[in-house]
């Protein structure tokens, strides 16, 4: 009689010390629901907003709203020692758990920006998504813009500065913004996500307030000229050699721009799959998405976001290396439209993690 094959042990990381903690809980909820329990042995590891790592063994329904933190938890951490290859649980009882693959369902700072990926690289455990360098590059909108403009990829006109420079010479920087960019402009923290700290500014008088708000999220600030057009997104899946682009999806935002509430609270923005754009624009987006993905050294997955102007000009906005992953999020929905179920997408991402690690 053949032995039942051993399950793959997956650690799902969720929560995190980021302004997108709650979004991560939603993404993790969907992943837990859809991960094939016949194939995988799931270990849920939550990171609190304070940065505590807890192995959670309770009901996944407790994730939303944060009740899990007070539920069945034990302090645990991922060991940087590759001979452990897993989690060290402080107990009771103290023990180690072997992990075959880590799935970081974390967004934003300390999850999507390379910090966690550095620890994962040290641990020697294969993990889903981009490596440290690509994660850090894509998280920083100023670095992404600089690298992609060197490759002649169309983006909004922009400039960036450190907030301490603004504190010393606000008028110089504001004059530079007004001389180089047309209003409206978008003021953003260079490193953040989910529209946190992002403001649309219609004239010079609004700059101080918007810069102050962005500076609460990051020391680096980027200001971009507003692009008028449709907001569209393309999901890329694969490692450098075999990266593939999905169909293009469109966001019909209900607010002045696609802000945090629109994304996660009101649920009022509508997704159109495929996007309501001409075939040629969609082709250009798919090609540019893969080109940017390869250029920045991405692997596993990324969602590449664009604007399409009324003249059909394609303008790249940003790359998200750990995009929203709920079952109603754009990334999984785009692959569903390509014929992959959510569960199959998870299988594929885990396979890509093993392949990237040379397993
Ligand atoms: N240059 C721009 N022109 C027009 N709208 C913009 C521009 N930059 C950002 N936005 C709007 O603000 C939203 C959030 O900005 P984005 O750069 O995507 O930051 P985040 O990383 O927080 O998602 C976008 O989805 C879009 O609606
Ligand atoms: Mg965005």
Q: How close is the Cα of 227 to the center of ligand 1, in Å?
A: 9
| Predicted local confidence at residue 254, as pLDDT | 59
Whether 294 maps to a domain, the answer reads yes
Average pLDDT over residues 192-211: 93
Q: How far is the CA of 29 from the centre of ligand 2 (A)?
A: 22
28 and 176 co-located in one domain: no
3-state SS, residue 4 = coil
Angle between helices 141-150 and 279-295 (to 10 degrees): 110
Q: For 167-232, give the DSSP string.
A: HH-HHHHHHHHHHH-PSSEEEEESB--TTTT-EEE-SGGGHHHHHHHHHTT-SEEEEEE---SEEE
CB 227 near ligand 1, within 6 Å: yes
Whether residue 268 sits in one domain with residue 204: no
Last residue of a domain, one of 180, 208, 225: 225
How many whole angstroms from 186 Cα to the centroid of ligand 2?
12
**Do 175 and 246 belong to one domain?**
no
Residue-number span of the structural domain to which 144 is assigned: 137-153+228-356
Q: Kindly give the distance from the C-alpha atom of residue 276 to the centroid of ligand 1, in angstroms, as a whole number.
A: 19
Ligand 1 proximity of 166 Cβ (cutoff 6 Å): no
Same-domain status, 45 and 186: no
Ligand 1 pocket, 192 CB below 6 A? yes
Ligand 1 lined by 183 (C-beta under 6 Å) = no
Nearest CA to ligand 1 atom 16: 195
* Distance of CA 326 from the midpoint of ligand 1 (Å): 20
Task: Kindly state if the Cβ of 13 falls inside 6 Å of ligand 1.
Answer: no
- 191 in contact with ligand 1, CB cutoff 6 A: no
Using the 3D structure, point to which of 225, 250, 273 is the last residue of a domain.
Answer: 225
Residue 147 and residue 257 share a domain: yes
Residue 297 has pLDDT above 70, yes or no: yes
Per-position b or e across 112-126, b if 16+ CB within 10 A of its CB: bbbbbbbbbbebebb
Q: How confident is the model at residue 312 (pLDDT cuts 50, 70, 90)?
A: very high
- State how many domains the chain has: 3
Residue 2 has pLDDT above 70, yes or no: no
Cα(231) to centroid of ligand 1, in Å? 9
* CB of 257 shorter than 6 A to ligand 1: yes
Residue 253 CA, closest ligand 1 atom number:
27
Q: Is the CB of 193 under 6 A from ligand 1?
A: yes
Same domain, 62 and 190: no
Task: Please check the confidence at residue 269 and state whether its pLDDT lies above 90.
Answer: no
The verdict on residue 54 lying in a domain is yes
Residues 52-89 have pLDDT tens digits of 999 999 999 999 889 999 999 999 999 999 999 999 99
Kindly report the CATH number assigned to the domain that includes residue 349: 3.30.470.20
- Nearest C-alpha neighbor of 227 from the set 320, 306, 161, 323: 306
> Do 178 and 237 belong to one domain?
no
Query: Looking at 225, 240, 261, which one is the last position of a domain?
Result: 225
Q: What is the mean pLDDT of the chain?
A: 95
How far is 153 from 29, CA to CA, in rounded Å? Answer: 36
Contacts of 101 (CB under 8 A, 6+ apart): 8, 9, 10, 11, 125, 126, 127, 128, 350, 353, 354
Find the 189 Cα to ligand 2 centroid distance in Å.
12
Point out the ligand 1 atom lying closest to the alpha carbon of residue 227.
Answer: 3
Q: Which pLDDT score, from 0 to 100, does residue 41 have?
A: 98
Whether 235 maps to a domain, the answer reads yes
**Domain assignment present for 273:** yes
Note whether 26 and 112 are same-domain residues.
yes
3, part of any domain: no
Alpha helices in the chain (DSSP H): 21-34, 115-123, 132-139, 141-150, 163-168, 170-180, 207-215, 260, 279-295, 330-337, 342-356
Closest residue by CA, ligand 1 atom 1: 226
For the CA of 156, the closest atom of ligand 1 is 1
Whichever domain contains 32, its CATH number is 3.40.50.20
Q: Are residues 143 and 290 in the same domain?
A: yes
The verdict on the CB of residue 322 being under 6 Å from ligand 1 is no
Q: pLDDT value at position 267? A: 63
Q: Is 194's C-beta closer than 6 angstroms to any atom of ligand 1?
A: yes
In sequence order, the β-bridge partners of residue 53 are: 47
Q: Give yes or no for a contact between 187 and 202, defined as CB atoms under 8 angstroms apart.
A: no
Whether residues 288 and 336 share a domain: the answer is: yes
Same domain as 64, residue 195: no
In a domain, 192, yes or no: yes
Confidence category of residue 35, pLDDT binned at 50, 70, 90: very high
Q: Classify residue 2: in a domain, yes or no.
A: no
- 195 CA distance to ligand 1 centroid (A)? 7
Whether 287 has a pLDDT exceeding 80, the answer reads yes
CATH assignment at residue 191: 3.30.1490.20
């Amino acid at each position: 009689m053949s032995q039942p094959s051993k399950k793959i042990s997956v650690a799902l990381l969720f929560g995190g010390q980021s302004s997108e903690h709650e979004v991560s809980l939603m993404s993790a909820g969907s992943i837990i629901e859809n991960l094939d329990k016949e194939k995988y042995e799931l270990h849920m590891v939550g990171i609190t907003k304070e940065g505590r790592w807890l192995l959670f063994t309770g009901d996944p329904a407790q994730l939303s709203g944060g009740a899990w933190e007070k539920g069945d938890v034990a302090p645990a951490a991922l060991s940087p020692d590759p001979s452990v290859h897993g989690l060290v649980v402080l107990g009771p009882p103290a023990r180690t758990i072997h992990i075959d693959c880590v799935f970081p369902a974390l967004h934003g700072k300390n999850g999507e920006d390379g910090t966690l990926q550095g620890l994962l690289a040290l641990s020697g455990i294969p993990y889903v998504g981009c490596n440290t360098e690509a994660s850090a590059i894509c998280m920083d909108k100023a670095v992404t813009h600089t690298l992609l403009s060197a490759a002649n990829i169309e983006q909004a006109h922009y400039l960036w500065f450190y907030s301490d420079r603004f504190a010393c010479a606000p008028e110089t920087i504001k004059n530079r913004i007004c001389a180089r960019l047309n209003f409206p402009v978008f003021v953003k923290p260079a490193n953040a996500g989910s529209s946190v700290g992002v403001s649309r500014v219609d004239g010079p008088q609004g700059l101080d307030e918007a810069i102050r708000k962005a500076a609460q999220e990051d020391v680096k600030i980027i200001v971009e000229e507003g692009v008028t057009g449709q907001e569209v997104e393309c999901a890329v899946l694969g490692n450098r050699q075999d990266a593939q682009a999905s169909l293009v999806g469109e966001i019909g935002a209900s607010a002045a721009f696609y802000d945090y509430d629109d994304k996660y609270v009101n649920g009022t923005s509508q997704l159109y799959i495929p996007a309501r754009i001409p075939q040629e624009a969609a082709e250009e987006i798919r090609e540019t998405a893969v080109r940017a993905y390869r250029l920045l050294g991405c692997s596993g997955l990324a969602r590449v976001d664009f604007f399409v102007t009324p003249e059909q000009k394609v303008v790249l906005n940003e790359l998200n290396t750990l995009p929203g992953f709920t079952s109603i999020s754009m990334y999984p929905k785009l692959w569903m439209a390509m014929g992959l179920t959510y569960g199959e997408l998870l299988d594929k991402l885990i396979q890509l993690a093993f392949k990237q690690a040379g397993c």
